[in-house]
Amino acid sequence: MVGALKGKDYISTQDWSKDELEMALELSAELKRMFKNGIPHRYLPDKTIFLMFFDKSTRTRNSFEAGITQLGGHAHFIEAATSQVAHGESAKDTGIILSSYGHGIAIRHDLVPGEGNAYMREIAKWADKPVINMQCDVDHPCQTLADLMTIREIFGKDLRGRKIAVSWAYAPSYAKPLSVPQGLIMLMPRFGLDVVLAHPPEFTLMDDVLKIAEANAREAGVTFEIVDDMDAAFEGADIVYPKSWGIEALFHKPDEALRIAEKYKDWICDERRMKLAKEEAIYMHCLPADRGNEVTDAVIDGPQSVVYQEAENRLHTAKAIMALTM
């Protein structure tokens, strides 16, 4: 079964069956154990992955670079802006050529709705090596796999009857991509969580993604609900995941989106709101967080926060995806 994933793209969790995602989670846990015990795990000796970034990154870049080194391989960091992509080189040419030089291509292209996912799928069409999505406009499947790993480490594998609140929160720093909340609402119902999505009316997610989330919930026999009230979403939640995102139609006018967001400065995750969730509820965020806006220091640094465990699991899940597909 492990060999069955060699060469498979990982562009959305939706492209992988539940069994395939289970395999990735199991390998992530095994790689975590080996890493922590200093056990070598050079599963990809002398293999090369190309990491192409159209946007900034701390966790994703470094989890992939450290991860491939620990697996015995090597990463090339490619900043799209300083490569020939910036001069208009086609996805076809880039995909064919990079895949002839190495063993995998990973891409972050997340800031323009309608572009990143399509670009990755075009690269994948021409590349004869696996393409891994390091965050696009639609999904952030490396992040949500690490989130699911973290949730299962805390609550166990049987998540039925537990509720995750995925909520918009205010942030003045920049119009953040839609892909994390979208990835969460697509993936979490498949693994048994009831999902509540909360956002102000202007901050809707992509229609196609909402349809997938609804269908996944229906198929899994769990609930998927959308509300416009952060308090209501937090009521009785086991997991709260409040973060900011932009307005799909305004990514080319980010200042306008940020002005609209200012109406909702009270959408912050603070100690009062955490009390609405269950006593044992956990606070999650993919990071970077806008401290003092999306979340108070008391919450993100408090006993319910699992953000560092969640960020650490980015390493183990990135390694599992590379080891399975490359």
Q: Which two tokens stand for residue 321?
A: 């995806």
CA dist 302 and 271 (Å) reads 9
Our CB check for ligand CP shows the closer of 135 and 325 to be: 135
Q: At 167, is the secondary structure helix, strand, or coil?
A: strand
Residue nearest to ligand CP (CB): 60
Q: Give me the least distance between CB of 110 and ligand CP, in Å please.
A: 9
Our CB check for ligand CP shows the closer of 169 and 220 to be: 169
Q: Which two tokens stand for residue 304?
A: 């319910």
Enumerate binding residues for ligand CP (CB under 6 A). 57-60, 135, 143, 286-287
Q: At 216, is the secondary structure helix, strand, or coil?
A: helix
> Residues 305, 299: contact at Cβ < 8 Å?
yes
Q: Give me the least distance between CB of 286 and ligand CP, in Å please.
A: 4
Our CB check for ligand CP shows the closer of 112 and 287 to be: 287
Q: Give me the least distance between CB of 140 and ligand CP, in Å please.
A: 6
Q: Give me the least distance between CB of 228 and ligand CP, in Å please.
A: 26
Non-local (6+) Cβ contacts of 138 within 8 A are 12, 116, 117, 178, 179, 182, 206, 209
- Between strands 163-168 and 74-79, the pairing is unpaired
> Residues 123, 90: contact at Cβ < 8 Å?
no
Q: Give me the least distance between CB of 112 and ligand CP, in Å please.
A: 16
Our CB check for ligand CP shows the closer of 154 and 287 to be: 287
Our CB check for ligand CP shows the closer of 278 and 285 to be: 285
